[in-house]
Chain A
Amino acid sequence: MGEENKVILHGMWASPFSKRVELALKFKGIPFEYVEENLKNKRPELLQLNPVHKEIPVLVHNGKPIAESLVILEYIDETWMNSPRLLPQDPYKRARVRFWTSFVQQQLIETLLTVFETDGETQEKGVRDMLEKLQVLEEGIKEFFPDGNPCIDSNNIGLLDLVFSSVFSHYEIQEEVLGIKIINIEKIPLVCSWLTALNQLTLVKESIPPHDKLAAIFKFVREDALKSSSA
Chain B
Amino acid sequence: MAEVKLLATWPSPFYYRVVWALKSKGIAYEFIEEDLANKSPLLLQYNPVHKKIPVLIHGGKPICESMIILEYIEEIWPKNSLLPNDPYEKAVARFWIKFADDKSPEIWRVFRSVGEEQEKAAKDSLEMLKTIEEHALGEKKFFGGDKIGMVGIAFGQLAQWLQVIEDVTGVKLLEASEFPRLQRWINNFKQVPVINENLPDYDQMFAFFKGRRQMLLASK
Is the C-beta of A71 less than 8 angstroms from some C-beta in chain B? yes
User: A91, B72: Cβ atoms under 8 Å?
Assistant: yes
Q: How many residues of B contact A (CB 8 A)?
A: 23
Residues of B within 8 A of A95 (CB): 63, 68-69, 71-72
B184 in contact (CB, < 8 A)? no
A70 close to B (CB within 8 Å): yes
Q: Give the residues from 72 to 98 in chain B that come closer than 8 angstroms, CB to CB, to chain A.
A: 72, 75-76, 87-88, 90-92, 94-95, 98
A52 touches B131 (CB 8 A): yes
Set of chain A residues within 8 Å of B206, measured between Cβ atoms: none
| Cross-interface CB contact of A51 among B49, B58, B72, B135, cutoff 8 Å | B135
Point out the residue from B58, B88, B131 that lies within 8 Å of A66, measured CB to CB: B88
Whether B65 is near chain A, meaning CB under 8 Å from some CB there, is: yes
Instruction: Give A210 Cβ to nearest chain B Cβ, in Å.
Output: 32
Query: B23 at interface (Cβ–Cβ under 8 A)?
Result: no
B98 and A99: CB pair below 8 A? no
Closest B residue to A61 by CB, please name it: B88
A74 to B67, CA, bound (A): 14
Cβ–Cβ contact B65 & A94, under 8 A: no
Residue from B58, B65, B76 with most neighbouring chain A CB atoms (10 Å) = B65
A-B contact count (CB 8 A): 57
Answer whether A140 and B49 are a contact pair too, CB < 8 Å, given A68-B98, A71-B98, A98-B68: yes
CB-CB nearest in chain A for B94:
A71
Q: Is A67 an interface residue (CB 8 A)?
A: yes
- A51: chain B residues within 8 A (beta carbon): 135
Residue in B63, B65, B72 whose beta carbon sits within 8 Å of that of A102 in the complex: B65
Q: B99 at the A/B interface (Cβ < 8 Å)?
A: yes
The verdict on B61 contacting chain A, using a C-beta distance below 8 Å, is: yes
Contacts of B75 in A (CB 8 A): 91, 94
Partner of B72, one of A64, A94, A136: A94
Contact partner of A78 among B61, B68, B69, B87, CB < 8 A? Answer: B87
Number of A interface residues at 8 Å Cβ cutoff, please give it.
24
User: Across the interface, do A71 and B68 meet the contact criterion of CB distance under 8 Å?
Assistant: no
**Interchain CA distance A75-B58 in the complex, whole Å:** 27
A64 to B89, CA, bound (A): 10
- Given known A71-B94, A102-B65, A103-B49, contact A79–B87 (CB-CB < 8 A): yes
Q: CA A71 – CA B83 in complex, angstroms? A: 13
Q: Is B121 an interface residue (CB 8 A)?
A: no
Q: Kindly provide the distance from the CB of B18 to the nearest chain A CB, expressed in whole angstroms.
A: 13
Q: 25 A-B pairs, CB-CB below 8 angstroms?
A: A51-B135, A52-B95, A52-B99, A61-B88, A64-B88, A66-B88, A66-B91, A67-B95, A68-B98, A70-B98, A74-B91, A74-B94, A75-B90, A78-B90, A79-B87, A91-B72, A91-B75, A92-B72, A94-B71, A94-B75, A98-B68, A99-B65, A102-B65, A102-B68, A136-B49
Other 12 A-B pairs with CB < 8 A, given A92-B61, A94-B75: A51-B135, A66-B88, A67-B95, A74-B91, A78-B90, A91-B76, A92-B63, A95-B68, A95-B69, A95-B71, A98-B71, A99-B65
- Chain B interfacial positions (CB closer than 8 Å to A): 49, 58, 61, 63-65, 68-69, 71-72, 75-76, 87-88, 90-92, 94-95, 98-99, 131, 135
